[in-house]
Amino acid sequence: MRGMTTQLKRIGILTGGGDCPGLNAVIRAVAKAAMGGGLEVMGIEDGFLGLIENRLRRLTYNDVSGILTVGGTILGSCNKANPAKFATQDKQGRWVTRDVRDQVVEHYYQAQLDALVVIGGDGTMSGAHDLIERGLRIVGVPKTIDNDLWGTEITFGHDTAVATASDALDKVHTTASSHHRVMVVELMGRYAGWLALHAGIASGADIILIPEIPFDIDAVAHRCLERSKVGKRFTIIAAGEGARPVGGEQFVDHIVADSPDPIRLGGVAKWVAEQVETISRLEGRYIVLGHIQRGGTPTAHDRILATKFGYYAFELLMAAQFNRLVVQQNGQLGSVPIADVARKVRTIPPGHPLIAAGRAVNTSFGDE
């Protein structure tokens, strides 16, 4: 890749948005490769918030050693700090947004950064795009347990979250079977159903509800009754937090006033469990896995993927291929312009083969 090279002396690294397993593995790969190439590496604390508040620190080789298997991020993260719409409270206590991009650019140049590696999901890449328009040189690395970042077939963190969610669904099987209940497990994923689909298929969930396929609650209850009548006295339902009934809206748990993306989805599992119990007279229970899906040690797959992504980001820097996002397509690493990724969500296409495979093994998606 290193056809055209640029003379970099100092780069910065930040981790934006929600945390997930594998962030430290990327930091490690980028930083060690850069230090080996003679570059100085600055760690920016708490995502874009660190650039807004000018909180940077030099990373040493020891700082990034021994962190491959550690979940979370040694730099900290923040999902509320969009430089273009930074929320602060006025004298009356009301939340107002300010454009602090000029402040971020000033801190970037004060720190004598030549480029920035931004690790994050769609919100982080949208923020990165806004800074690119102000002249910053950025390379992006795709991160999200939701796997919903446009342009790449996989993001690191997703495999670990699927493993965590699948393990939880496996454990729910035993208690559902013992008590003959309909158990609805709510998974993260926001507006895309990748996590619910993959974890549901991996655990053999009987019904999978995802945002891309609006569900008929009567059809869901009927499937539970059908199973009960043939001696299968329990049903496991994996529900993505963004799933919604036909003709209805997604369930909103709460609004975060100081966030650039204020809507927090949640509540679909409770509603489905209550409705199924009312319609079918079968006992229903619900579980919300929540942030447990983001935590823990990254799987071997995510450690390898994060390391590959991190090294490829370094290669892009050295080849002066700025303002691009590292991606994987058809199993091969490449890159796409961050501008093409900003403000887009990658959802499951209707004809996805895993949906077809699920239907073939008699998994219901609540639509029939």
Joined together, the tokens standing for residue 173 give 């099987």
2, 315 Cβ separation under 8 angstroms: yes
Measured from the Cβ of residue 350, the count of other Cβ atoms closer than 10 Å reads: 8
200, 238 Cβ separation under 8 angstroms: yes
**Plot region of 112 (φ>0 → left; ψ -120 to 50 → alpha; else → beta):** left
| CA neighbours closer than 13 Å in the CB half-sphere of residue 87 | 14
Q: Is 146 a catalytic residue?
A: yes
Of 19, 146, 159, 302, which residue is the catalytic one? 146
Query: Which residues are CB-contacts of 53 (< 8 A; sequence separation ≥ 6)?
Result: none
The angle at the Cα of 336, spanning 332 to 339, to the nearest 5 degrees, equals 160
Provide the 8-state DSSP code for 34.
Answer: H
Each as own residue / partner, the long-range contacts of residues 290-293 (CB below 8 Å, 24 or more positions apart, any chain) are 290/188, 292/164, 292/168, 293/145, 293/161, 293/164, 293/165, 293/187, 293/188, 293/195
Catalytic residue positions? Answer: 146
